[in-house]
């Protein structure tokens, strides 16, 4: 009887073990299937819905930061959720130093959150040193300045006993000064010694006889050429002169006197 009892109990235990194994296999298949479904759902959501969600919530318009300072540009970009990187610096004749010249991406373009906006910052006008042109002929000095990027916008002729005629005696700004590339300069050029010139008096209103007498004195003084033009009529008087009174003429220059009859 005892032997039979043990056999039956042992058989029940084996049946119980088999039942547990079958249940475990069923649960394992179920969990595997469930995991597979979750993976497929994740892939589907990632490929279909996530780009849409990111596009609507993570893309913003890039603010325009050109024409403002670096610090202000950085603040504006950070407020928009973007970072700034200085990609380079360039000389500019129109944009002051420290101001943003350009940006990439361009203003109002779409960009994803936490992206970098690159900016080019102005270095201001390019500065060059005024070369030494004193003692050079005006044409030579002008060529040198132009090659340096400096434009001669004004030429002032002055009497100078040290330098011959048409020789540069100075400039404004002076040599070794810093000037913007493309800037302008004034040159002071020698007219030679003042004793080689005569200051022209006022002929306007003089009679023809008085004008001739006065011009003859000038002829003797510096061998000036007198060009007299008469209109119709009698009792001529001077109505115009070239150059005007107070200006200077040198040897072999021409004084033009225009006469008109009364």
Residues 183 and 135 in one domain: yes
Alpha-carbon distance of 142 to 49, in angstroms, equals 70
Residues 92 and 115 in one domain: yes
Q: What are phi and psi of 159, to 5 degrees?
A: -75, 140
- Examine residue 34 and state whether it is found in any structural domain, yes or no: no
Q: Are 179 and 127 in contact (CB under 8 A)?
A: yes
Tell me which of 74, 107, 122 is where a domain ends. 122
| Number of folded domains that form the chain | 3
Model-wide pTM > 0.85: no
Q: What is the pLDDT of residues 43-88, one digit of tens each?
A: 665 565 555 555 555 688 999 999 999 999 999 999 998 999 999 9
Lowest-confidence segment of 44-58, 230-244, 247-261 by average pLDDT: 44-58
Structural domain boundaries enclosing 131: 127-192
pLDDT for position 113: 66
Q: Which residues contact 232 (CB under 8 A, 6 or more apart)?
A: 261
- Examine residue 64 and state whether it is found in any structural domain, yes or no: yes
Residues 205 and 243 in one domain: yes
Tell me which of 122, 146, 172 is where a domain ends. 122
Q: Is the predicted pLDDT of residue 34 greater than 60, yes or no?
A: yes
């Amino acid at each position: 009887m005892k032997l039979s009892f043990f056999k039956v109990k042992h058989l029940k235990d084996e049946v119980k073990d088999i039942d547990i194994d079958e249940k475990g296999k069923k649960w394992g298949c179920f969990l595997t299937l469930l995991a597979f479904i979750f993976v497929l759902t994740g892939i589907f959501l990632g490929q279909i819905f996530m780009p849409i969600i990111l596009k609507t919530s993570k893309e913003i318009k890039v603010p325009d930061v050109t024409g403002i300072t670096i610090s202000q540009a950085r603040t504006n970009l950070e407020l928009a959720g973007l970072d700034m990187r200085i990609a380079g610096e360039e000389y500019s004749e129109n944009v002051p130093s420290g101001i943003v010249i350009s940006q990439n991406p361009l203003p109002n373009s779409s960009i994803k959150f936490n992206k970098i906006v690159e900016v080019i910052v102005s270095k201001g006008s390019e500065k060059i040193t005024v070369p030494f042109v004193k003692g050079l002929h005006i044409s030579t000095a002008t060529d040198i300045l132009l090659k340096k990027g400096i434009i001669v916008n004004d030429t002032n002729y002055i009497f100078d006993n040290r330098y011959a005629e048409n020789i540069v005696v100075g400039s404004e700004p002076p040599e070794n000064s810093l000037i913007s590339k493309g800037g302008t300069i004034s040159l002071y050029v020698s007219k030679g010694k003042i004793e080689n010139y005569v200051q022209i008096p006022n002929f306007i209103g003089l009679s023809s006889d008085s004008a001739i007498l006065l011009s003859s004195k000038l002829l003797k003084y510096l061998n000036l050429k007198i060009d007299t033009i008469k209109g119709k009529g009698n009792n001529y008087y001077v109505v115009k002169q070239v150059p005007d009174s107070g200006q200077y003429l040198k040897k072999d220059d021409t004084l033009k006197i225009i006469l008109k009859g009364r």
